[in-house]
Amino acid sequence: MKKISDYIVTFAFLYSSFLCFDKAIDLWINNNILSIILFFCGILSFIAVFRFSIANIIYYLKRKFKNEKK
């Protein structure tokens, strides 16, 4: 069961990914190397938005492979 704090943290990850992408685009125009780092951070923040879905997939795969070994 998700709590309100989970939704707040998810929104914070989404907001930070948008900020990273926006700043990275601004720096990319000036050929600044920091833009690559910000793109990477933006991608990681965007992936973090889906952390519960990713965890469910991993738990499903663990159960599936655990049952196949028996």
pLDDT digits (tens, 9 = 90+) for 11-69: 999 999 999 999 999 999 988 899 999 999 999 999 999 999 999 999 999 998 888 77
pLDDT tens column, 1-11: 678 998 999 99
Q: Give the whole-angstrom CA distance, residue 53 versus residue 32.
A: 34
Q: Give the whole-angstrom CA distance, residue 36 versus residue 28.
A: 8
Q: What are the counts of helices (DSSP H) followed by strands (DSSP E) for the chain?
A: 3, 0
Range of the domain at 34: 4-69
Give the number of domains in the chain: 1
50-55: long-range contacts at Cβ-Cβ below 8 A with a sequence spacing of 24 or more? 52/2, 52/6
Q: DSSP character for 3? A: -
